[in-house]
Structure 1
Amino acid sequence: MTLEKQKTAIIFAVPALLMLTAFFANLFAEGWNWSPADFTVAGGLLFGTAFFINLVIRSKKALPYKLLICFVILLVLALVWIELAVGLFGTPFAGS
């Protein structure tokens, strides 16, 4: 049971550390200017991804299926993040 809690803590610590890094970069780095909405969207994407990966890890599926599903989840995160940042696909949500 403790091992499951440790896995969950690690899975959710990664987006927390990324958000903390972005927060301090926003304070101290020149040219980094995220608005509160940017932090909200980034937090939703990162913690949502962590939630779904945690669900997959805790499932009873075989390891190759877990790895494949986690890869797909991370690929979707990367594509959405890229679209929001630079507009790879040209949707209305595309960044500048």
Structure 2
Amino acid sequence: MTLAKSLTRVALATAFLLLIPLVAMQFTKEVNWTLSDFIVAGVMLFGAGLTFVLIARMGDNTMYRLGAGLGVAAGLLLVWANLAVGLVGSEDNPANLLYVAVLAVALVGAFVARFRPLGMSNAMFAASLTYVVVTVIALFIWKPTGAAAEPQVHMVNVVGANAVFAALWAVSGLLFRRAAATGTHSNRQLA
């Protein structure tokens, strides 16, 4: 499939997903998105789709594509959850900004690995480890004060949700490791 066709599919999928809250707004007052909500969601969804298309084109087997898909999904969910409700406490807790480090580790690792499967595996494992470290720092070392302090943070919920996010990065690493074992070559062109 050509890059133009892939981008058209990503754009159509993004538009379809944005129709869901638009239609829901017509039937319930519970869904109340503003124009900026639609713009942010559209940029995030299209950006994630574009990222997946570009990375998936670098590999030549299903494990590589699954690893890319899960890694991109983990990044999208991390950003979405952090913007919506926050990963530690509320979205106003400044400790949530530390999770940018997870995305940075994954992106820098992918570029350093030149998108080769074994290097991508290491980058995803490093992102998973970074996720755990950031969560520990956010929960046990960072003590927000004032309006950002949440007196009733349910520790089990926060740790459980963050463990799932860290696991997504780790499973992506395992999929890339499996792709490396099957001999995926990463010398394909983007266009």
Structure 2 counterpart of 1:11, one-letter code: V
Q: Which runs of 5+ in 1 are unaligned?
A: none
Query: What's the counterpart of residue 75 of structure 1?
Result: 74
Q: Which runs of 5+ in 2 are unaligned?
A: 98-191
Count of paired positions: 89
Question: Is the 8 Å Cα contact of residues 55 and 68 (structure 2) preserved in structure 1?
Answer: yes
* TM-superposed deviation, 1:42: 0.5
Cα separation, 1, equivalents of 2:52 and 2:26: 30
Aligned pairs for 1:1-96 (under 5 A) are 3-4=1-2, 7-59=6-58, 61-63=59-61, 64-89=63-88, 90=93, 91=96
Cα separation, 1, equivalents of 2:29 and 2:86: 23
Structure 1 counterpart of 2:77, one-letter code: A
Structure 2 counterpart of 1:41, one-letter code: V
* TM-superposed deviation, 1:9: 3.7
Cα separation, 1, equivalents of 2:12 and 2:6: 10
Q: Which runs of 4+ in 1 moved over 4 A?
A: 5-8
Question: Is the 8 Å Cα contact of residues 56 and 64 (structure 2) preserved in structure 1?
Answer: no
Cα separation, 2, equivalents of 1:50 and 1:72: 12
With over 3 angstroms needed to count, the CA separation of the structure-2 counterparts of 1:40 and 1:11, relative to structure 1, is: closer
With over 3 angstroms needed to count, the CA separation of the structure-2 counterparts of 1:37 and 1:8, relative to structure 1, is: closer
Question: Is the 8 Å Cα contact of residues 10 and 46 (structure 2) preserved in structure 1?
Answer: no
Higher relative contact order (CA 8 A, sep 6+): 2
Cα separation, 2, equivalents of 1:77 and 1:52: 10
* TM-superposed deviation, 1:35: 1.1
* TM-superposed deviation, 1:29: 1.9
TM-score, normalising length: structure 2:
0.41
Report the 3-state secondary structure (helix = DSSP H, G, I; strand = E; otherwise coil) of the residue aligned with 1:50: helix
Structure 1 counterpart of 2:57, one-letter code: R
Cα separation, 1, equivalents of 2:68 and 2:11: 18
Q: Which moved more, 1:45-54 or 1:83-92?
A: 83-92
Structure 1 counterpart of 2:60, one-letter code: A
Identity value in percent: 31
1:48-84, CA deviations, whole angstroms, 9 ceiling, x for partnerless residues?
Answer: 111111112333x132222212210101101111111
Please, what is the CA RMSD of the aligned residues? 2.0
Q: Which has the larger radius of gyration?
A: 2
Structure 2 counterpart of 1:77, one-letter code: L
